[in-house]
Structure 1
Amino acid sequence: MHKTLDARQLACPGPVLQVKEALEAGPVKTMEVVVDNEAARENVSRFLQSRGFTVEASMRGEDLIVAAHRAEAARQDIPLDAGERGSSPVSSAARKIMVVVAADAMGRGDHALGTKLLINYVKTLKEMGPDLWRLVFINGGVTLTVTGSPVLDELRAYERSGVVILACGTCLEHFGLTADKQVGQTTNMLDIVTAMQLADSVITIG
């Protein structure tokens, strides 16, 4: 079955939820999803890939078109947390700690001091070892994932070690930073909520 979805003008995670509902309604072999921003394109593409689809993106006028095709043998029941984010070398005995960075500074008071504290905090997260499972950046925290961030080297090292780094697509769009993201995956609220359910503990900064 082929489905065409118009996900334009939907706030995050609306486009992904629309695709999810369409897949849950019945078998789909091919799908075309129309979106109107880069964050939605990346989120929808990654979600469809996690469900076994091959995805191609193109432009049609001012719209972004996500065209997806799934082989007959592909599974439809891959969980949200699998596939789309890759496997991690983290031991099964390790705890799953999710750290949410929700601001560009740590604590209240002097902003310059808070910025230094947050930079030091991110750099020190390596002391969690294999327990560090997800690093999620929302609101002003997404500025740490873009060009010029003082912790890009550390974040890339975390990613290489198997830590999944997620940056809120709506937040990147809000600050005009979508094209400047240098590390991690653009994500949506559905991914974040799902990760919170799977985590053993969630630490929020900001």
Structure 2
Amino acid sequence: MPDTTKSITKSHEKSSSSRTVVVLISKNTFGSGPEELGQLLLRNFIKNIKEASPVPVALIFVNTGVHLTTTTSPLIDDLKEMEVKGSWVLSCGTCLDYFKVKEKLLAGKPSNMTEIVSLLLTADHIVAP
């Protein structure tokens, strides 16, 4: 597995004024409350964050959040667009295995906790909706 952390660090060394932002999505809803509302809010969050400048260096999906990167997700096109704009889209491999959806991954790549922890510890700012 390539060292994403080094790649992200190198790609953002050019500008000392740019902050590295990592988005950590740990469930398939935004906030707590009615599930349908949470899903709508998360879709809106992703659609809006992809228009941010600069885009986050990484979107990390863990726990039930990994479902958003698989065949059942309405966000695949948005996540692929984030990749084109330069964001890493990473899904926890343990979570993909647990939910038996690794073969359904459509956006980004599987990752591991070592890589995830490294990205979180080196980010200037972490957004966790």
Same fold (TM over 0.5): yes
Over residues 73-128 of structure 1, what are the superposed CA-to-partner deviations in whole Å (9 max), with x where a residue is unaligned?
xxxxxxx6225x7x748962321000000001111111111111111111111233
1:165 aligned to 45, 65, 89, which one?
Answer: 89
1:195 aligned to 115, 119, 123, which one?
Answer: 119
Higher strand share: 1
Higher helix share: 2
Could you list the runs of 5+ residues in structure 1 that have no partner in the other structure?
A: 1-45, 51-79
The one-letter code sitting in structure 2 at the alignment partner of 1:106 is F
- Contact 1:90/1:162, CA 8 A, preserved across alignment: no
Measured in 2, the distance between the counterparts of 1:141 and 1:131 equals 19
- Contact 2:50/2:81, CA 8 A, preserved across alignment: no
Over residues 14-67 of structure 1, what are the superposed CA-to-partner deviations in whole Å (9 max), with x where a residue is unaligned?
xxxxxxxxxxxxxxxxxxxxxxxxxxxxxxxx15xx5xxxxxxxxxxxxxxxxx
Query: Is 1:104 the counterpart of 2:104 in the alignment?
Result: no
Query: Is 1:175 the counterpart of 2:86 in the alignment?
Result: no
What's the counterpart of residue 62 of structure 1?
A: none
Measured in 2, the distance between the counterparts of 1:118 and 1:100 equals 12
What's the counterpart of residue 82 of structure 1?
A: 6
The one-letter code sitting in structure 2 at the alignment partner of 1:202 is I
Measured in 1, the distance between the counterparts of 2:21 and 2:31 equals 21
Measured in 2, the distance between the counterparts of 1:169 and 1:97 equals 22
Correspondence 1:17-96 to 2 at 5 A: 46-47=1-2, 50=3, 81-83=5-7, 88=11, 92=15, 93-96=17-20
Higher relative contact order (CA 8 A, sep 6+): 2
Percent of pairs with identical residues: 34
| Count of matched residue positions in the alignment of Structure 1 and Structure 2 | 128
What's the counterpart of residue 80 of structure 2?
A: 156
> C-alpha displacement at 1:164, in angstroms?
0.8
What's the counterpart of residue 147 of structure 1?
A: 71
2:49 aligned to 125, 144, 149, which one?
Answer: 125
What's the counterpart of residue 137 of structure 1?
A: 61
The one-letter code sitting in structure 2 at the alignment partner of 1:194 is S
2:38 aligned to 89, 96, 114, which one?
Answer: 114
Measured in 2, the distance between the counterparts of 1:151 and 1:140 equals 14
Question: Aligned in 2, Cα 1:106/1:194: closer, same or farther, shift over 3 Å?
Answer: same
